[in-house]
Structure 1
Amino acid sequence: MEKPQLALKPTIMAVLNGNSFAVVAALIPAALISQLLKALPQTGLVGQVEVMVALAQSTLPLIAAFVVGNMLRLSNLETASMALATFVASGVVTVKGDTYMIAGTGVILNIMLTTLIASYVARLSSRLLGQLRMVFEPLVVLLISGGIGLLTLPIMVAVQGAVGQVVAQATRVSPLLMGVLLGMLFAFLIVSPLSSVGIATAIGLSGVGSGAANAGIVAAAITLAVMGAGVNSGGAIIAHFMGSPKIQMANMLSHPKLFMPVLLAAGVSGGVASLLGMSGTAFSAGFGLSGFIGPLTALNESQGDLLGIRVILAFIVVPLLLGILMKLVFMKKVPLIQGEELALPDI
């Protein structure tokens, strides 16, 4: 098989698309059944399933490395070496004395950086080591890429924390403006390298702020799904909201104009959710419609009359109408956006 070149642009696109896919693949099992598991009697079987989906989330860095390697047409050895480095630098492992604890999904920004560095180190080491690569390449990639990743991990955690402070500040403004700002901010986060779930959890975003942020994510997902319906498969369309709109991250960063309809729809949805009194938890704020976590949590956390109708309006009706409106405005009336710009790669 012909080896790909070391060009930066295709490598970055592979890193963006590969990590986007990894987020969906690793998080969707827990997103689909987490609320169901809470409602079931806590038997041994239910507990075992909870362990399974929790562990699945911690495989995000491994999946990311393998998908990126596949997209770059790397060998099995190169891809496996990338996976080793990405796993150790991801932040999913915490060391306390002689104990190693695996939890969470890691810091996705650092996972992306490590897969980028490891892809280059793996390809270069294959060329330099020649026939010795089977023996030394995993160690070389692990030490160089994983070592750099461990050095950058605290920096990426700090970046995520700084964004969290911005979000926390937004919760102190008036309810309507707060809803608009949080809707737009979390719509941006969900299609960026940053983790919306991690930030929401880190700052303890709950109550109406959580509901508004969640509605913004739903609006982003539905808007992107509706606008890309003509060029993406049915499964890819569903993955936008049952998985994560982060699958569009590469397209969003390549075509920044896509942020216009997404943020506009998210801001309106966040404001409406705030006015409708939608509440949530730090966990629900980062998932949107995945596993129906947003709507189900709003049903449990919100107060007032006609709660079911308000939840349907906030998380389904309003975002869907806005998604259709954004497509009409930005793709029909003023054709600033082409369907091909939202096309997802076949995986």
Structure 2
Amino acid sequence: MTKESFQINVISTVAIGMAIQLNGVSAGAAAMGVAATTVVLVVNSWKVNKPGVTLAIALGAMKMMMPNLFRKPIILVPCLFTAIISAIPVALFSVSGTPASAGFGLVGLVGPLASLDAGLSIILLLISWFVVPIVAAFVGQILFEKILKLYDRKDVFEFLG
């Protein structure tokens, strides 16, 4: 096995959510954290990677960016920023989920559909799951790359696989 073909595999976020039986708002918060990370990776990937890479990330292949994380841990800064901002509507609107939805985030719309099933209105769902994380990811990208110059998107988010 060559260094280039080495694939990092981490514990499944879905399995963790089910193992510790996250439910209610805690499951919603966990799913929102996964969603926030996905949005950050998509927002920062779309101009530096081929469309297939960005599409794969959006459809749930966030793990493919793990080599980037280990080589450039600065990736955590915009992810944490977006997750913190995205947690605000979780608390304000009681965005809830189930143990099974806790680790999915936006993948297959499992997180948003679980919160809809728990009673969240469509408008609040759109605001919570899409508007806030996407705006936060773009603000974070501008803040950390353009203003604070913490990283260069091409250097940090270009797919290494």
- Offset of 1:281 from its aligned partner? 0.7
Residue aligned with 1:205, SS:
coil
Q: Matches of 1:271 and 1:320 in 2, distance apart?
A: 14
Q: Aligned pair 1:223/2:40, yes or no? A: yes
More helix by share: 1
Relative contact order (C-alpha < 8 Å, sep 6+): which is higher? 2
Question: Is residue 128 of structure 2 the alignment partner of residue 329 of structure 1?
Answer: no
- 2:61 alignment partner in structure 1: 244
Which residue of structure 2 aligns with residue 309 of structure 1? 123
Distance in 2 (CA, whole Å) between partners of 1:213 and 1:241 is 17
- The alignment's C-alpha RMSD in Å is 1.8
Question: Structure 2: which amino acid aligns with 1:342?
Answer: F
Letter in 1 for 2:150: L
1:206–1:279 CA contact under 8 A, matched in 2: yes
Of the three residues 253, 260, 264, the one matched with 2:70 is 253
Deviations 1:139-198 (A, max 9, x none): xxxxxxxxxxxxxxxxxxxxxxxxxxxxxxxxxxxxxxxxxxxxxxxxxxxxxx232111
Report deviation, 1:275.
Answer: 1.6
What aligned pairs does 1:12-23 form with structure 2 within 5 A after superposition?
14-15=5-6, 18-19=7-8
Aligned with residue 197 of structure 1, among 6, 14, 19? 14
1:172-211 matched pairs, under 5 angstroms:
193-211=10-28
Q: Distance in 2 between matches of 1:219 and 1:302?
A: 21
- Distance in 2, matches of 1:291 and 1:261, equals 23
Tell me the amino acid that sits aligned with residue 124 of structure 2.
Answer: R
Structure 2 unmatched ranges of 5 or more:
none
Cα distance per residue 1:69-124 (max 9 Å; x no partner): xxxxxxxxxxxxxxxxxxxxxxxxxxxxxxxxxxxxxxxxxxx5xxxxxxxxxxxx
Distance 2:48 2:80 in 1: 21
- For 1:214, the equivalent position in structure 2 comes to 31
Q: Which of 129, 133, 142 is the equivalent residue of 1:319? A: 133
Alpha-carbon separation, structure 1, partners of 2:61 and 2:28: 17
Instruction: Kindly provide the CA deviation profile for residues 14-51 of structure 1, in whole angstroms up to 9, marking residues without a partner as x.
Output: 43xx34xxxxxxxxxxxxxxxxxxxxxxxxxxxxxxxx
Assess if the C-alpha contact under 8 Å between 2:22 and 2:99 holds in 1: yes
- The answer on whether the counterparts of 1:211 and 1:280 sit within 8 Å (CA) in structure 2 is yes
**Contact 1:280/1:302, CA 8 A, preserved across alignment:** no
Distance 1:256 1:345, change over 3 A: closer
1:273 matched residue in structure 2: 90
Q: Distance in 2 between matches of 1:241 and 1:267?
A: 20
Higher Rg of the two aligned structures = 1
Q: 1:271 & 1:203 partners in 2: Cα distance? A: 23
8 Å Cα contact 2:105/2:111 also seen in 1: yes
Amino acid at match of 2:110: I
- Unaligned 5+ segments in structure 1 are 5-9, 20-111, 113-192
Contact 1:299 1:308 (8 Å CA) reproduced:
yes
TM-score by length of 2: 0.90
Distance apart, 1:279 and its partner CA: 0.7
State whether residues 65 and 159 of structure 2, in contact with CA within 8 Å, keep that contact through their aligned partners in structure 1: yes
Q: What's the TM-score once normalised by structure 1's chain length?
A: 0.44
Please state how far the C-alpha of 1:302 moved relative to its aligned partner.
Answer: 3.0
**How high is the sequence identity, in percent, across the aligned residues?**
31
Partner of 1:70: none
| 1:287 Cα deviation after fit | 0.9
